Amino acid sequence: MEIDQCLLESLPLGQRQRLLKRMRLEQVKAYHEREKTLNKHSGLKGKGKHNRKHRVHFGPSEMIQDAIINHNDKEVLRLLKDGADPSTLTSSGGTLLHLCARHDNAFAAEILIERGLNMNQQDEDLWTALHVACACDNADIVLLLLLAGANVLLQDINGNIPLDYAVEGTESCYILLRHLEDNGVDVNSLQHMKVQRPSTMLSDVRLLLAAGGSVNQRNEEGVTLLHMACASNYKEVASLLLDNGADPQIADNNHWTPLHLAAKYGQVNIDTLKREKLRSSMCNIFYLSIYLQKTILYFYAIILGTEGTKKKKKKQKVSLLEQCHNPFTLPISKQDSLLEKDAMFRDTSAATSRQPSQDNGCDSPLALSKCGYPSWTFVKLMPPAPNDDLATLNELTDSSLLYEMQKRFGNNQIYTYIGSILLMANPYKELPIYSALVSHLYRSTSSRLCSSLPPHIFSSAERAYHLMFQERRPQCFILSGESGSGKTETCKHIVKHLACRSGTKGFDVILLADRYRHLIVRFFFFTARLHTYLLEKSRLVSPPPNQSNFNIFYLMADGMSCEEKCGLYLNNLLAHR
Ligand SMILES: Nc1ncnc2c1ncn2[C@@H]1O[C@H](COP(=O)(O)OP(=O)(O)OP(=O)(O)O)[C@@H](O)[C@H]1O
């Protein structure tokens, strides 16, 4: 698989790592195949150590995390019975309860609480499960945790309590406020105390300066005052410290500089950290950082920032996050992990504003900014899954196939391969997986289905595109399914990908999409009606057994009240063909 370098660079680190891992896996596979062939030729079959089968085993503690994420309740129970440790920690130092809170799995959360899991345990950012549930507005979990007696006043590393992450007007916020009220906590005085903290530190720093103290003094953990101010987004304090010679390059004992902290804890607006000072230190920090992942977006925002565009970028980023988060900034590490849940793919434009292009065939061509970065900043891909191709399953029965499909559908993985056939389950909702960026991702240099990316109609379209050149003959898609299953939409997506695919530099992709559009008409004749080559009309007079037509009729009837139906003589829908 080959991916454009620019594109690769624009992906968030986690996703980039996953892609690279898959590419690496492909290399290893190719190497393994070559070794096998070589061994065969040299008669080493069965003797060499390369022929030994290696299996990767996951313990119950890893598997339970997967089961929680996928809401596989039976599996959670089984794994707990089989000895999975309920106090297993996730990669961010959180507990399984944090995972439940993030993935809205109240069932598993209840079981874990019953088994005595500490619901006040804090992760690496000192978030409790309640912080997570509030930030994700998973009201059921919020309620569950409160009823189980979770501590609502525990502060995270930024000094924020769960309420600070509950967006005003959401169910979680309401539940939490009621709980605080019922327990006699005065929310206003809480907020007041919070506002007081930076001013207390400011006056302390002023006192220190007046007494001639050093602003770069480090405590036993190597932490300076600037570290503290940056981590907490105390702008005035940071500004005062910088004006008085505080060094933004000093690293603490864990190699964190103040800039790292500003980035990690989401202080993207930290203009107080005199940008020029930071720029000079940027290169060092870039390479020093063991948490490059956490800082890269922040750098991106700063480096690209001419005054005008910086504001725009910042606005884009903030509005993306504003959708689910509150006035207190979320740590970037948290933003990453929380956003990951949202969608299979995401790009900023799709997330912040619905492009008219979603429906009309083609997004604008992939514009690159002056720096060579694509103008979009985010793409989120689902990690590759073993059930991407059902043909590779060990057990192939109706029930196992349906089970896998159902599981995938629940994760918005609407596409699934069975060998080179692509199955689609109509999501009946818009998924942000059809942008030009995603189409670009699925470009490949060969006709092989792209194994490094999840199944997608763009992948099938890409394959047809290459086969057309290889075989030098027209290619054909057979789209089959009952009425309303999504054939027409799929056809549009194929055309969209082919149009984007064919768009060369300076070529108007939209024009090309228009040129392809007439093809759609032909698709209509063939879809789902291959056996008789029926035209649309005949679907009305002789509908296939158990299939409806004019689906809009049923949708409309579904939304009407009994009185409305009665008024229109639609009491018995089945009486109408
Ligand atoms: N990939 C998709 N993502 C989101 N919604 C979809 C998708 N595919 C289909 N839909 C939804 O399903 C509806 C029906 O899809 P579509 O018109 O493509 O069905 P069809 O199989 O062509 O139906 P018919 O055979 O009756 O013409 C669409 O209007 C759309 O709301």
Predicted pLDDT at 1: 56
47 is in an annotated binding site: no
- C-alpha 487 – ligand 1 centre gap (Å): 6
Nearest-5° angle of CA 501, CA 424, CA 402?
A: 150
The one-digit pLDDT tens for each residue of the chain (577 residues) are 556 666 666 677 777 777 777 777 787 888 778 777 877 776 655 454 555 556 677 788 888 998 998 899 899 999 998 888 888 888 778 899 999 998 999 999 999 999 899 989 998 778 899 999 998 889 999 999 999 999 888 888 777 888 888 888 888 888 988 888 888 777 777 777 667 777 888 888 888 888 888 888 888 888 888 888 887 778 788 888 888 888 888 888 878 888 777 766 655 444 545 554 544 444 333 333 333 333 333 333 233 333 333 333 333 333 333 333 333 445 544 554 444 333 333 333 333 233 333 333 333 333 333 333 333 334 455 666 778 888 887 777 888 888 888 888 888 889 998 888 899 999 988 888 888 878 888 887 776 766 678 899 998 999 888 888 888 888 888 888 888 889 989 999 998 888 887 764 444 444 444 555 444 444 444 444 444 444 566 667 777 777 777 778 888 888 899 889 889 888 887 777 6
522 vs 461: CA distance, rounded Å: 16
Cβ–ligand 1 contact at 162 (below 6 Å): no
Residue 411's identity, in one-letter code, is N
Which ligand 1 atom sits nearest the alpha carbon of residue 485?
21
349 vs 319: CA distance, rounded Å: 11
486 is in an annotated binding site: yes
Predicted pLDDT at 536: 61
- C-alpha 493 – ligand 1 centre gap (Å): 11
Residue range 60-189 forms a domain whose CATH class is: mainly alpha
- pTM recorded for the entire structure: 0.39
Contact 417/454 with Cβ under 8 angstroms? no
The DSSP-derived string for 345-375 is: S--HHHHHS--GGGTSS-PPP--B-TTS-BS
Which ligand 1 atom sits nearest the alpha carbon of residue 528?
25
SS3 call for 450: coil
14 is in an annotated binding site: no
Query: How crowded is residue 273: how many other Cβ atoms within 10 Å of its Cβ?
Result: 24
Nearest residue to 232 (alpha-carbon basis) of 184, 200, 210:
200
- C-alpha 491 – ligand 1 centre gap (Å): 10
Atom 30 in ligand 1: which residue has the minimum CA distance? 428
Cβ–ligand 1 contact at 567 (below 6 Å): no
Q: What is the 3-state secondary structure (H, E, C) of 285-345?
A: HHHHCCCHHHHHHHHHHHHCCCHHHHHHHHHHHHHHHHCCCCCCCCCHHHHHHHHHHHCCC
Contact 63/75 with Cβ under 8 angstroms? yes
Cβ–ligand 1 contact at 489 (below 6 Å): yes
289 vs 12: CA distance, rounded Å: 16
Predicted pLDDT at 2: 57
Predicted pLDDT at 113: 92
* Domain 219-342, CATH: 1.25.40.20
Mutate to test the pocket of ligand 1, among 434, 435, 485, 489 (most ligand atoms within 8 A of CB): 489
Predicted pLDDT at 264: 65
CA distances (Å), origin 535, targets 516, 520, 529: 21, 14, 8
Phi/psi region, residue 266 (left: phi>0; alpha: psi -120 to 50; beta: rest), is left
Predicted pLDDT at 6: 62
- The answer to ipTM > 0.95 is yes
48 vs 147: CA distance, rounded Å: 60
Predicted pLDDT at 426: 92
332 vs 322: CA distance, rounded Å: 13
* Domain 386-541, CATH: 3.40.850.10
Q: In whole angstroms, how large is the CA radius of gyration of the chain?
A: 28
Atom 11 in ligand 1: which residue has the minimum CA distance? 428
Predicted pLDDT at 57: 73
Predicted pLDDT at 20: 76
Cβ–ligand 1 contact at 482 (below 6 Å): no
